[in-house]
Structure formats: C-alpha cells, structure tokens
Amino acid sequence: MKDEMDILREVGSIAAGHGSIALSELLGRRINLRIPSVELVPYDKAPDKMEKGKMEIAVLFRLLTGLKGEAVFMLDEKNAFKLVGLSYKVHAEETRMEVLTEVGISALKEIANIVTGAYLNAVGLMLKKVILTFPPALISGTIEEVLGMILGSSGVSENVLLIEALFEAEQENIRGSFYLVLSQESAADIRQACMKMLKDLEE
C-alpha cells in the first residue's frame, strides 16, 4: 500500500526526468539525474541523517511564494569540484583550487537552479501552487553550520525534506543532496496534498 513517501518519491522521479533533460542541454552531454531517496523529518533530527563534520558547498534559495522556508542544494567539496569540472568538460583535478572561481560559482548556481527548479515545479504541480525563489546565495561549512545558518536566517525551520540526488554522466557519478527546510504550515500542506493523492488512488 502506498504512503506519503511513495508520493514524494514519484514527485522526485518526475523532477529527475525534467532535470536530466535540462542538465543535458546545459552541459552538452547526456546527464541522468536520479533521486534514490526522499524523507521528511523534523528539523532537529535532520543532522542525524547526514554525514557530520564534512565541508559542504551549498547553494541556498529562499522561497518567495508557494511555500515558506528554504531550498538548499548541497555537495561536499570533492563532488562540487567534480560537478563544476564536468560543466566545462575538464577533469576536476585540473580545476581544483582553494576556492571556486567566479566562473565556477556561476556554473554551480546554474546547475543548482536547474535541480532545485525541477523539484519545486513538481511539488508546485502537486500543491497547485506556483513556487518561486529569490536569487541563490552560495554558502559553505559543515552540515551543522549550514543548517544553523539557514535556521538563523529564516526562523521557520520546523521540518526538512531530505532528497538525495545522483548525477550520472558517462563514467562519472556525482552525489549531492537537495533539502527543503519548511515551516510546519508548509510541511502540513505537502502532507495534506499527499494524503489527497493517496485517497484519489484508492477510489
């Protein structure tokens, strides 16, 4: 029997399909974006689901309409540089620097915008709402520091939708994560939409 996580995984599959097409067009090569797992957890339990202490590079999108909260696309440093290197068709080792260049930051934001936009559009269709974001900001730190910055900036972080993202390109696999940090009201809206879809499936 299906539950709300099954619905959210199906939403993730739809988003992955659209994201794969857009990323392939942007990067000029075949990219398969997969969403292996989706989980909705309370904010204080979120760090327990993540690898602690590792330095992460995150692209932060504050939600403007449709939902209240933040969307975050996050990779560890190794995968971030691999993804930037992939976008310029060179090996990550050749572009590895102490910090990302302006061009690299722009590329990462563009990729994050595609992944984030694909998922938010799919969620928006489910909720029958238009979900828009403010322009993205790049932040870095451990997972605890990044989540702390998000909580401090928004003050609405009650629930976190954890979405694993896997980029498959030729012989390169790049793993990242996408997080929706939601207010209780927005999390309730998503749960209610999932329950309605489940009820419709049963009829």
Overall average pLDDT of the 132-140 stretch: 91
Question: CA nearest 165: which of 52, 44, 59?
Answer: 59
Residue 23 has pLDDT above 80, yes or no: yes
Q: What is the pLDDT of residues 186-195, one digit of tens each?
A: 888 888 888 8
Query: Taking the model in full, what pTM does it have?
Result: 0.82
Domain range for 136: 4-202
Question: CA nearest 138: which of 178, 118, 102, 109?
Answer: 109
Question: CA nearest 197: which of 104, 129, 99, 126?
Answer: 126
* Res 154: pLDDT: 52
CATH number at 126 reads 3.40.1550.10
Average pLDDT, the chain: 79
Residues 85, 104 contacting (CB under 8 angstroms): no
Q: What is the pLDDT of residues 67-125, one digit of tens each?
A: 888 888 888 888 888 888 777 544 444 455 555 777 778 888 888 898 889 889 988 98
What is the domain count for the chain? 1
Q: What is the pLDDT of residues 5-14, one digit of tens each?
A: 778 888 888 8
Q: How confident is the model at residue 130 (pLDDT cuts 50, 70, 90)?
A: very high
